[in-house]
Chains A and B, each alone.
Chain A
Amino acid sequence: MSNNEQAAGTPPASRPKAARQPRRTRVIVDFMGSMSLAITLLVALAIASVIGTVLVQNEPYTEYLMDYGPFWHEIFAGMGLYQVYSATWFVLVVAFLVISTSFCVYRQTPGLLKDLRRYNTQVKEKSLRAFNSSATADLDQSRDEFLKHAHKVLKAQGFRAREKSHDGHTVIAAMRGRWNRMGYLLTHVGIVVICVGALADGPTLLKLNEWLGNIEIETRSVPISEVPRSAWAPKSNPSFRGSVEIPEGASANVVFLPMREGYFVQPLPFRVELEEFRIERFSTGTESSYESDLIIHDPNRDEPLHHTISVNHPLIYNGYAIYQASFADGGTRLDIDAIPLGAEALRELEIPGRVFQEMEVPTPDGDTRIIEFINFQLENVVPLLDEDGVRENRHMGPSFDFRLMDRTGHGLYYRNYKHPALQEGAMYFLSGVRESPADEFHYLFLPADANDSLERFRTYLAMLHNAEVRTAIARQVARDDDTVPDEQTQAIATTTAELMGLFARGGYMAVHEEIERRVPAERVEEVRDLMIRILHAGLQGLYMEVLQDEGVVSIQEEEQRFLEDTISAINAISLYQSPFFFHLTDFEHREASGLQIARAPGQSTVYTGSVMLIVGIFLLFYVSYQRLWIMARRQQDGTGTHVVMAGTSNRHQVEFEERFAHLKQWIIEQKPVDAASGNTHASNNKND
């Protein structure tokens, strides 16, 4: 970045001539420090940066493969576009920029320092007259008297001045705002310092080790004990940023450093134990703080260090910064009641589950299913709009996610809530089901009874699946119905029992299919209506039986609704595709905290460079570097003085012209400025 600043420095005529023969090193220095190279590198940096924001970084490679196809995936991966900012070529561009800027500083500094020291009292009158801001006058004053006056004004105005007498004339060379020139040095050196610090904190050393064949990335996700030593980064690695997930009560003495499609293992000189992870919440239920109680076990310490970290409040321990980055389930214990959705609905089958575990569950029909516990959620807060448009949050309580698979590994994803939830005035146990984690849930609503339990539903379901009960109920219903002629009672009872059996197996769909199979197409409609009425009468009769067993005598609206919900639920079970409803009865919550542990020895270097940069920018922008020359010659007749004055500034030309006019008035015309142009206060301010 060449810095031949316009207007600053020496007047045009006295610029040093480029007389020296260009040598080869000189050419290289010129090229490396040239503005064109710097701009080219900056543009390359900018383009690479844009790529890095458009192409989502650090995703699993399988995802890229799906998004871009094998052809482009190979090319992108080869170019390092999935980790642009740590790609070798990117680091090289930054390194080159550092070198280029260093060369620029190296080239400019000597001239700059000379500029500051050299007042250049050798100027010629002709060159002074060529300045934009220039004035000449013939004064009555004697030369010495004028020079004395000029010095006084310059000093008061903050100029440093040198005077030199030549053959017949005297030159005062003055300058102010030299700090502006320091601004150039500070900004550019600041950039170099920042980049050097940042390069030191990058994964350069790790990549170098990899390139030398000392270490090799691990791409499998296996327990830490199975990761080969070749994927372990050296303990002495000075800079890294890795993450690790620690369940409550567990500890870790390594972090994982993501690298391309895999990772390295970084050992730590201490062990981090997670005592407890907490999520603090506002009254609305939204998270207010994530906190981890940590214990640091360090062989160099007499006793372990207890410390709580939270977002925005990391722990800095011996140069290792430990941050709260994320959280997850740490293997919550789940006590589950597997309720068969069939004849054995009243059977108790306790399953001891744990998040992230898989287990086999024997089904009542002698088969097995595999349940995989995926996650546990302690609180579910759903924002809702009530009828008045007022926002409220509904707390749904704990839920757990699982996948239920058959022997071939096929199955659906489920989310079950522990507690029943209020839905349009009644309570239901909810279970969401979906085909893949990307889909929306469809919910199964199991009605809760007055005790907020599934007891009544289970009883009803078990009875409905019992053929003997169906027959008995069907007979009773047919008999009790006065509209049925006696001779048809038996036939109706048989039909009712059969329809109830069909419904229990496959809901309305099974009933419809059976009708369509048996009845000619043109009569299906008519028969269906009749059959549904018969079915409902049977289901109602069964319900009466259940209520009677419970001791309920009169049926209220509430009870009627329960029956409707039960029928809907049983109808939906055929789509639910699970032989069980897994009811969470108890749990022991165990969370895991995702910690990020980093070591960045370059951080203070980067901050130092940043301060230099900021200070430099302010000096560059708000201190204007001004130079002034005054040449005085005794006039031929010996009575007066011939004066030439010229000045230049590298910033704020408009304001400098105003200032020059003031200086001219004070020094040459020797009149006060206030009287002529009013407020000098403001213009003085501006130039400061």
Chain B
Amino acid sequence: MSVPHEALDFERPGILRRIQPRDWAYIALTIAVGLIAHWQYGHMMDRYDTGGLILAVALSAWMGWFWRPWQAFSIIVGALALFGIWMYGDDLARGSTNFWLNYVGSGQAGVMWMSVFLYLSTVAYVTGLFSRSDFPTRVGGAFAWIGAGAGLMALLVRWREIYLTDPTWGYIPVANLYEVFILLAALTTLMYLYYESRTGQRTMGAFVMLVIAASVTFLLWYMWDRQAHEIEPLVPALNSWWMKIHVPTNFVGYGGFAIAAMLGVAYLVKHRLERTRPDAAITQRIPSKEALDSVMYKAIAIGFAFFTIATVLGAMWAAEAWGGYWTWDPKETWSLILWLTYAAWLHMRFTKGWRGPVMAWWAIIGLFVTTFTFLGVNMFLSGLHSYGEL
């Protein structure tokens, strides 16, 4: 029974030993890319931009170690984006004459591919829910990866396109509703894929991808009906370094809340099926309530943490742009309401130990509050966040 101690593996290897050669290679690559970017464009950056670049490199390197699939994903997306940018050269008109850009690699084409693959992924996941085989959900996962990749590539290429349209306009494409919807769809998909890879619960996708497909539908409507993809100059209030961190942080929050709400739906479906049709195949296919609850908590936790950061960053930005860190602008107020909604959810779970359908319902209602904070405020209420109106 007793084994020599040396054979036991309880000694936790140091942080450096846990980083494997391929991780080192990836870290070296991200640093190299960061250095090249600085060498190429350093003259256009102020110290905040340089700080942002360092942050981005560190974040990507850490992501690669924390979640290995990120390594290949980011390399492929980065390479495709660079290829598209290279194809453009200095001429925006090539977007419609160059074959690659016209059909695959431009911002606009990338968004179309993202939409197609996220729709296909949704179909595959839902099929997988009703199928005995794992094949459809695996296909759904692959499509989701491609869709998220296409979306991120589209944003990166669009970044360049904005500069090509007019160098004096240049800004990061998270400035209007069209751009942030691309970000939302890609980011939420990636967050979902992370949870899927960590838990192995593939049928969660049948629920989560539905909300992503809904956001893609909105995006397409917004694009076709309102010509929202047209590149416009930035309004002075948004011309700030803060936008680069405030907006993406916010969307990690929204993405987490969206995932949690859809897992809440899954939870309620499972809860009902367990009572009405406990032996049905579909009942077995949906992950266990414990697993759903666990991922729901994690999604809300990450969403809440990032949403808190985003709100604080927003307050700091507001102090600079509007003359007060908190002016009870409708967007600010609804952010507070949203924050309180999830703060109460977390309190109920931590201190009262609440689980079950009530918390699932709460997470679903939370998504409605999220949607109102994100869209409703711009549509129905007037205020300082009045860009990207519908």
Contacts and interface: CB of A to CB of B under 8 A. Distances in A.
Contacts of A597: 323
A131 to B, nearest CB: 16
A162 interface: no
Contact of B320 (A312, A652, A681): A312
Contact of B315 (A4, A610, A669, A686): A610
Contact of B240 (A312, A325, A680): A312
Interface stretch (B8-16, B140-148, B264-272): B8-16
Given A42-B344, A670-B1, A56 B382 contact: yes
Contact of B308 (A49, A614, A662): A614
A311 B237 contact: yes
A6 to B, nearest CB: 4
A603 B5 CA distance: 56
Contact of A156 (B10, B305, B326): B10
A459 to B, nearest CB: 45
Contacts of A60: none
A57 B66 CA distance: 47
Interface string A65-86: 0000000000000000000110
Nearest to A86: B328
A287 interface: yes
A56 B169 CA distance: 33
A408 interface: no
B294 interface: yes
A310 B236 contact: yes
B29 to A, nearest CB: 21
A141 interface: yes
B351 A1 contact: yes
The CB with the most chain A CB atoms within 10 A, among B198, B347, B350, B381, is that of B350
A676 B239 CA distance: 56
A156 B233 contact: no
A4 B325 contact: no
A680 B5 CA distance: 18
Contacts of A1: 347, 351
B1 A50 contact: no
A290 to B, nearest CB: 6
B275 to A, nearest CB: 24
Contacts of B11: 156
A59 to B, nearest CB: 11
A311 B239 contact: yes
Contacts of A29: none
B304 interface: yes
B333 A49 contact: yes
Contact of B336 (A49, A158, A289, A603): A49
A603 B351 contact: no
A321 B305 contact: no
Contacts of A323: 321-323
B75 interface: no
Q: How large is the interface on A (under 10, 10 to 19, 20 to 34, 35 or more residues)?
A: 35 or more
Contact of B309 (A312, A598, A614, A682): A614
Contacts of A650: 350
Contacts of B328: 49, 52, 57, 84-85
A600 B336 contact: no
Contact of B239 (A4, A152, A289, A607): A289
B324 A241 contact: yes
A686 B198 contact: yes
B235 A287 contact: yes
Interface string A637-652: 0000000000000101
Contacts of B291: 654
A598 B324 contact: yes
Contacts of A391: 230
Contacts of A45: 336, 340
Nearest to B304: A617
A680 B1 contact: no
Contacts of A325: 322-323
A321 B198 contact: no
Contacts of A600: 319, 324-325
B340 A42 contact: yes
A654 B201 CA distance: 14
Contacts of A313: 320
A93 B363 CA distance: 26
B308 A617 contact: yes
Contact of B323 (A49, A53, A287, A314): A314
A198 B326 contact: yes
A665 B10 CA distance: 10
Nearest to A321: B323
The CB with the most chain A CB atoms within 10 A, among B2, B237, B309, B340, is that of B2
A288 interface: yes
B323 A312 contact: no
A670 B312 contact: no
A52 B333 CA distance: 8
B333 A311 contact: no
A179 B369 CA distance: 32
Nearest to A145: B2
Given A50-B337, A312-B240, A610 B312 contact: yes
Given A46-B340, A241-B324, A286 B233 contact: yes
A620 to B, nearest CB: 8
A311 B351 contact: no
A606 B351 contact: no
Contacts of A289: 236, 239
A301 B339 CA distance: 45
Contact of A613 (B166, B308, B344, B350): B308
Nearest to A322: B323
B236 A5 contact: no
B351 A3 contact: yes
Nearest to B307: A617
B66 A685 contact: yes
Contacts of B290: 654
B70 interface: no
B312 A614 contact: yes
A550 interface: no
Contacts of A620: 350
B323 A241 contact: yes
The CB with the most chain A CB atoms within 10 A, among B242, B325, B351, is that of B325
B326 A157 contact: no
B361 interface: no
A239 B343 CA distance: 30
A356 interface: no
A283 B308 contact: no
Contacts of B375: none
B382 A287 contact: no
A149 B325 CA distance: 55
A672 B328 CA distance: 58
A96 to B, nearest CB: 15
A578 interface: no
A282 B169 contact: yes
Contacts of B236: 287-290, 310-312
Given A53-B334, A158-B12, A672-B7, A5 B351 contact: yes
A125 to B, nearest CB: 22
Contacts of B233: 282, 284, 286, 288
B12 A152 contact: no
Nearest to A671: B3
A311 B321 contact: yes
B336 A53 contact: no
Interface of A: 1-6, 35, 39, 42, 45-46, 49-50, 52-54, 56-57, 84-85, 139-141, 149, 152-153, 156-158, 198, 241, 282-284, 286-290, 310-314, 321, 323, 325, 391, 596-598, 600, 603, 606-607, 610, 613-614, 617-618, 620-621, 650, 652-654, 662, 666, 669-674, 680-682, 684-686
27 contacts: A5-B351, A6-B351, A45-B336, A46-B341, A50-B337, A53-B334, A153-B8, A156-B11, A282-B169, A287-B235, A288-B234, A311-B237, A311-B321, A312-B237, A312-B240, A312-B321, A313-B320, A325-B322, A600-B324, A603-B319, A614-B308, A620-B350, A621-B305, A669-B1, A670-B2, A670-B3, A680-B9
Q: Which 4 A-B pairs have the closest CB atoms?
A: A323-B323, A596-B323, A53-B330, A666-B10
